[in-house]
Chain A
């Protein structure tokens, strides 16, 4: 596969790993956060952490839209789907997200709610066109990659004159989330030396929106492609910035990301959405100006207005450490629930809920390192 296989080459990986090890100064600890869930997944799936020296540590950030969707909004989605005339369309990843009292969209479907898994907004539109007697609600989530597609879907619904298509909008913004993380990273244990910036999001928003990270928060950031070699090269670039005392925005994913991004996509987003004052993120709490809602001009497609949705805040399990884990202050294994009560089959909190979540990635791909580490500790003590 062109433009894919070359970025997964094992020999290049080994050589890059040696380069990172050579340049990472001994005795210095490097803590880098990969913000995007896709990166978390790539790192785990390809075993990238095995190829990094011990003093370079990857912290898994909150860039997983499934993980950060608050329980209250899932409850709302379940309530919507329970209405007899509603067909709820959702991306498959949301089906198993735990809501209140062990509920989930998957369970609601088994109980008879008309919930349909779709791969794309186009599928939801098609259903609305084909079934005019149903009120089709698209559960929209995601950062700036899925937002332009939703915008296009709303405009197309308008062009088609559809009266039975609605969007339950939970789109969130990357730079605002980064700001929230950086604001919270004050203690030494939460210190971040650099950020690996998201791949797909950056193709849309460009490199410019990250300049505040370097300028205001004095933190190096490298926008990275999501193939494992891209990630490793980005880690090398971050290491070099730290060593040289530089604090810049660098673009490793130059083949798909420009400084300005995809202007057309940005214009579509601007036309259909505007900014909410505040939005609750699972694990991070209320974050100002971090989420979108449909503009007045498109109000007739807004599920919140059509169905009078008033979101009630719901709490996560008190023992759940997702908040600290999302900020990189704690590791999955620091959470009492990890691996016992909280597993991918029985997720208790946001980090375990999707395969891109920090705990899910660790459970699925990295658990054996814990065993290895425990054995090593036993051997020494």
Chain B
């Protein structure tokens, strides 16, 4: 057989190398990037087949699908990074419907010049988050854009899950008399992000609460079943935005007690410094649940048995209100409404 010289396959220089335009062109360089960085980190049977799509087979139950974009800045922050955030966030969107998350996809838009070491770090983080949650990343895409057109890397995800029969969770299901629960402390993620923004420069030990909530949700649906009316994760705009959305979609009012809303002392202090209200600060590992009153105690008890629900608390109730106000008794004893946030409290938080 004639001897044909094979090109020497050089390893990617993870330590000092950077993403360049050839990595997005669809040729050998891209294939190597995808294999050495993404497949290496995510490793599963679907990716090993190296197709443009993943064949998922049939799934039992009602299908739920979600999609998200991640543009968080900075990319690495205390308690997480854009990679783990994207996995947790997508899983959570599915979990809020009471769905068991099954599969994720991840598409990367990378800026020319982005360090390979950082890309690998992000991919590893995603792989770990995905494995630890038991939800594989089965398909993806990679594009590279010129320097200056993408601030490092943007990640876009999609997720698919299945919901069991009997669960009809939706934001328009809240009824007067229902109890409002939160799974834990408010404002951690936003403060963690702010503390790593250069121009704000304050020091704190607060970590982002980025976490996948599907297992906590499984415990909750097992306990409360159909008595669980609404579940939502208070991301951008914080608890205030979520409660206002639910109030409007269900055409009800909400009444909460500020003293019952859990907020870590360091988060409260950081918000003091920056003139922010923790009720409006983003969370990435917490949920708000609206449940029928007779099942509230049992649900709260069940949530507290799970590590992600240890600080769960009942914070208020749903009331009749044609104006759809979210009203609050302040810790000081007075009353106020918790309105929609106007304008941008903080850009690029997730």
Contact = CB atoms under 8 A, between A and B. Distances in A.
Let me know if chains A and B touch directly in the complex, using CB atoms closer than 8 Å. yes
Interface of A: 1, 4, 8, 10, 13-14, 17, 44-51, 95-96, 106, 118-119, 123, 228, 343-345, 363-369, 371
Interface string B266-304: 001100100001000000000000000000000000000
15 contacts: A1-B265, A1-B268, A10-B332, A46-B330, A47-B335, A118-B199, A344-B342, A364-B337, A365-B339, A366-B337, A367-B337, A367-B339, A368-B325, A368-B335, A369-B335
B269 A47 contact: no
B332 A48 contact: yes
B327 A48 contact: no
A368 B327 contact: yes
A48 B269 contact: no
B336 A365 contact: yes
B56 interface: no
A345 B325 CA distance: 17
A118 B201 CA distance: 12
Given A47-B334, A50-B335, A1 B323 contact: no
Given A368-B327, A371-B323, A46 B339 contact: no
Contact of B200 (A51, A119, A368): A119
A316 to B, nearest CB: 20
Given A45-B330, A48-B332, A345-B343, A365 B265 contact: no
A84 B259 CA distance: 50
A284 to B, nearest CB: 25
A367 B333 CA distance: 18
A50 B325 contact: no
Given A1-B268, A47-B336, A345-B342, A123 B199 contact: yes
Contact of B332 (A13, A95, A343, A371): A13
Given A1-B265, A47-B330, A345-B343, A371 B325 contact: yes
Given A95-B343, A364-B337, 9 more contacts: A1-B265, A13-B334, A14-B333, A123-B199, A228-B334, A368-B323, A368-B335, A368-B336, A371-B323
A378 to B, nearest CB: 13
Contacts of B335: 47, 50, 368-369
B227 to A, nearest CB: 29
Contact of A364 (B199, B200, B327, B339): B339
B328 to A, nearest CB: 8
Contact of B333 (A47, A118, A343, A368): A47
Contacts of A45: 277, 330, 336
Interface of B: 199-200, 259, 265, 268-269, 272, 277, 323, 325, 327, 329-337, 339, 342-343
A344 B343 contact: yes
B99 to A, nearest CB: 33
Contacts of B199: 118-119, 123
Contacts of B265: 1
A1 B272 contact: yes
B306 to A, nearest CB: 30
Contact of A8 (B325, B331, B342): B331
B336 A10 contact: no
A46 B258 CA distance: 10
A119 B337 CA distance: 28
A343 B336 contact: no
Contacts of A368: 323, 325, 327, 335-337
A186 to B, nearest CB: 32
B334 A48 contact: yes
The 5 closest A-B pairs by CB, nearest first: A47-B334, A344-B342, A50-B334, A46-B332, A365-B336
- Give the one of B330, B332, B335, B342 with max A CB within 10 A: B332
A240 B1 CA distance: 108
Contacts of A1: 265, 268-269, 272
Contacts of A118: 199
Nearest to A345: B342
A254 to B, nearest CB: 22
A227 to B, nearest CB: 9
A277 to B, nearest CB: 34
A344 B344 CA distance: 12
Contacts of A365: 336-337, 339
B337 A8 contact: no
Contacts of B272: 1, 4
A8 B329 CA distance: 14
Q: Which of B323, B331, B336, B342 has the most CB of A within 10 A?
A: B336
A334 B254 CA distance: 27
Given A343-B342, A344-B342, A49 B200 contact: no
A343 B339 CA distance: 12
Contact of B343 (A46, A96, A123): A96
A371 B199 CA distance: 42
A367 to B, nearest CB: 6
A118 B269 CA distance: 20
